[in-house]
Amino acid sequence: MSTKKISSALISVFHKDGLAPIVKKLDELGVTIYSTGGTEKFIKDLNINVVPVESVTDYPSILGGRVKTLHPKVFGGILNRQEHEGDVAEMQQYEIPQLDLVIVDLYPFENTVASGASEQDIIEKIDIGGISLIRAAAKNFKDTLCVSSMEDYNEVLQIISEGNGSTTMEQRKHFAAKSFNISSHYDTAIFNYFNSDHSIASLKFSETKGKVLRYGENPHQRGFFFGEFDSMFDKLHGKELSYNNLLDVDAAVNLMNEFKGDSPTFAILKHNNACGIAQRETVHQAYVDALAGDPVSAFGGILISNTEIDKPTAQEIHKLFCEVVIAPSFSSEALEILKGKKNRILLIQKLHELPATITRSCLNGALVQDRDFITDAEENLTTATNNKPSQSELEDLLFASKVCKHTKSNTIVLAKGKQLCASGTGQTSRVDALRQAIDKAKSFNFDLQGAVMASDAFFPFPDCVEIADNAGITAVIQPGGSIKDELSINYCNENDLAMVFTGVRHFKH
């Protein structure tokens, strides 16, 4: 039979919110309820009859509650095959009660880890009985309905109400899939806790929050996002974010993290690269000067600020067609203005730590690496030339270096007065990247006299510093480390350029 009537249920949960209506409905349907510990007390407090699991097993909860339901009479009631003659006979022989419904959740292991609890407290939140009950009930979905999350309580209540206590095979199999999703995610979290140093070269990645996107990178590709977007952003307005929007938002957040706590900084990104960024005394001027970096590419771009967007800034932004605007907050007047375009996506960025590792697909597997948390700072710089950069040049060099770190390699970034003049992005040659940046800066009427240059990797030849010098650039920041560093150093010394080494390469592929 595909339809099964629930006559008995085992309920043992950590989270009891929303449980009462289900318990009351089961009691109304005449279902025998078995329980233990805190859940048993919860049900009794509802003035509903409940059978203690201990009365079935003839064994008390022991070891401080570590062992409660791990008993053949419990698991036999869940795992027996109701149409199997041998199973039916053994159930009668050993007086094992049938369990048609199992409502069990798991100790909050991930929340305990996130809270900064001690190792002992974390270990105690590794569920043993719960995970075993879930796996058993889900395995025997032909006869048993398994409910493993409080998020499913409303759906379960609807099913047993509409079905008068009966469930279909399709429903039970669906809940089995949900249960194995819960159990596999739980085990992944535990493994990743124990393997936080990656001493075991094994990749376990699990996200239970998933969303179907309109499409992938292109309309003919399916697309999905797995993650807790709402933990990072409050979406205030606009259409649903697309696959490409999410990639650009990720790039924008990573870039602006470099300027956290700095003076007002505004960036405009297109296809994961900054086409404009500036730091000023006001957010309004920062936006105006960021837009000046490339007003053509800004069309349809992603905008991000490291400070609240006010009314004057919103009035300027409203003149531009843009996909997404991100800020830590918006003034009420700014919000009213920016909501003037119904599809414009407005996001408030919350304080949230990004994962310490980055994963991407590669061939028939995956590549995993540490996130690049290094931000080039003045104390880490080594002056490689006779000529030292002035204080204003030094500030521009560090500004350019931050932008360079988040621009696709090979890249060259040109900046002046804490404003992006232009960048060469994703070129196969560093010389090509530099020429692209110079040509672009000139096309938007930037005066490169006194500008600075940042490179994501070292110069094997002096050609780049020579081209930069001829364009008016006076200071350079690069990792250094080439066996031919002296060639570039000598050119700079002979032509009064200042050059500093960071000692850190920032490739971005």
Question: Which of the residues are catalytic?
Answer: 139, 271
Q: Diameter of the chain by CA atoms?
A: 97
As a whole number of angstroms, the distance between CA 129 and CA 135 comes to: 10
Answer whether the bond into residue 257 is a cis peptide, omega within 30°.
no
Residue 423 phi/psi, 5-degree rounding, is -140, 150
C-beta separation of 489 from 384 below 8 A:
yes
The position carrying tokens 């201990």 is: 54
C-beta separation of 207 from 227 below 8 A:
yes
As a whole number of angstroms, the distance between CA 266 and CA 247 comes to: 18
Q: Which two tokens stand for residue 344?
A: 């414009």
**Coil/strand/helix, residue 315:** helix
As a whole number of angstroms, the distance between CA 296 and CA 204 comes to: 43
The position carrying tokens 């239970």 is: 208
**Which amino acid appears at position 312 of this protein?**
P
Q: Which two tokens stand for residue 197?
A: 């140093």
As a whole number of angstroms, the distance between CA 280 and CA 275 comes to: 17
